[in-house]
Structures are given as C-alpha cells and as structure tokens.
Chain A
C-alpha cells in the first residue's frame, strides 16, 4: 500500500509518516507539520480542540492522497491528523510525500495541506481565556 491515512486522539509522531513514505525510488521527502500556535490575530490561545466526522474524513484524506498519486510523480503519501484537545506546540497534522525529486515533493505536500483545509470534515476550535471560536466558521 502506498497511502497511509490516520486520525488519532493520541499525540502524532512525524517519524511514523516519514518512515512510511521512505522508499528506494524517491530522493525527496517533504513533510509538513502543523502545530498549535499560541497567538491568533494577537489573541492568546490556550489550546485547540479538534472534532472530526471520522469515517468521511478518512475517505476525504484518502482522496487527497490518491489525487497526489495522479497529479504528481509521488510514490508514497502519509496524512495523519490529530483530534481532541491539542496543547500549544503539539502537532495537529503531519503530511509526508515522497517523490523521486524534491520539487514535485514540495508542490505535492502544499497541494495536500491546502486541499485538506478545504475538503476534510474536521473542525478546529480555538480556546481563549475569555471564550472560544470555531475557526473559519464565519466569513
């Protein structure tokens, strides 16, 4: 299998994605790691809370990986997403793409995270000292 998709309520380890995509045919692996940032628009975030419509999220993440295989010369793709409570600096998402050469790997990885943010049914809540907001909910 050349695609590895995971949703987990446990901390993610980027090595899992990296190790999965490493292969002899590829000389370039690009790994994107999305982490919980302390400030959003100048406001201090205490933690993030992610919720997923899990079976469909897995399907949509798989579609992204399949698209990558078609659109780029990628050999292996891993997409891992955390759900539940995610503390500052902790990893929310890991995407690793292996291609024979680096340029395509960079492009494919960017395509993956951009598409994930548009299509995968996962929701992120930012929790502040004085309230909370669902990210991107309102225009």
Chain B
C-alpha cells in the first residue's frame, strides 16, 4: 500500500518536502513506518522524540495503518 505522509516543523526540513509518499506492506503498523523513515532519513533519530498522528489524533507504535488515513509526522512540539 502507498501511504501519504505530511510533515511539519523540522520533519518537513528532514524530508525536504511537506508530503512524502511511501510504500509499505499491507497491515503495517506505525512502528514499521517509523523504522523505514529512520532508515531512509537518519536525521529523525537525532530528534528528542518522534510521534505520529492518524486522522488528527496521536497514535502509538502498534496502531495499524491503511492507505486512506491522514498520517502526519509529529516531531517535538513547541507551542507557546
């Protein structure tokens, strides 16, 4: 399946773009996506944390991904 990832903040700088399409096996979890990203973009491993939001809510590593979701890379937040 092809997933469309959207990136903000430093994640956008690391990818070099706002939106990245990435191919994953069906029934992949966030942990699988994270492993591929860390492998392809080692700068992600330097961040204080790296989390993901699916359809506008935080999800953890064992969350199942599918192609029709809105998946967003959330690097360390810094509002205020």
Find the residue from A81, A120, A136 having the highest chain B CB count within 10 A: A136
- Give the residues in chain A near B10, CB-CB below 8 Å: 123, 134, 137
Q: How far is the CA of A62 from the CA of B8 in the complex (A)?
A: 21
Nearest to B72 among chain A residues (CB) is: A53
- Give the residues in chain A near B77, CB-CB below 8 Å: 117-123, 136
Q: How far is the CA of A93 from the CA of B79 in the complex (A)?
A: 8
- Give the residues in chain A near B74, CB-CB below 8 Å: 53, 121
Contact A120 B79 (CB under 8 A): yes
Interface size on B, residues (CB 8 A): 19
- What interface size band does chain A fall in? 20 to 34
- Give the residues in chain A near B53, CB-CB below 8 Å: 53, 56, 121
Nearest to A7 among chain B residues (CB) is: B79
Contact A138 B46 (CB under 8 A): yes
Q: How far is the CA of A135 from the CA of B74 in the complex (A)?
A: 14
Given A53-B53, A123-B75, A137-B75, decide whether A93 and B9 contact each other with a Cβ distance below 8 A.
Answer: no
- Give the residues in chain A near B13, CB-CB below 8 Å: 134
Contact A34 B76 (CB under 8 A): no
Find the residue from A51, A53, A81 having the highest chain B CB count within 10 A: A53
Contact B78 A136 (CB under 8 A): yes
Contact B80 A113 (CB under 8 A): yes
- Give the residues in chain B near A118, CB-CB below 8 Å: 77
A124 proximal to B (CB < 8 A)? yes
Interface residues of B (CB under 8 A from A): 6, 8-10, 13, 46-48, 53, 56-57, 72, 74-80
| Beyond A51-B8, A53-B53, A134-B78, 9 additional pairs, beta carbon < 8 A | A50-B79, A55-B56, A123-B75, A123-B77, A134-B75, A134-B76, A138-B46, A138-B48, A139-B48
Cβ contacts A to B, 13 pairs, < 8 Å: A50-B79, A51-B8, A53-B72, A56-B57, A81-B79, A113-B80, A117-B80, A121-B72, A121-B74, A125-B9, A134-B75, A137-B78, A138-B47
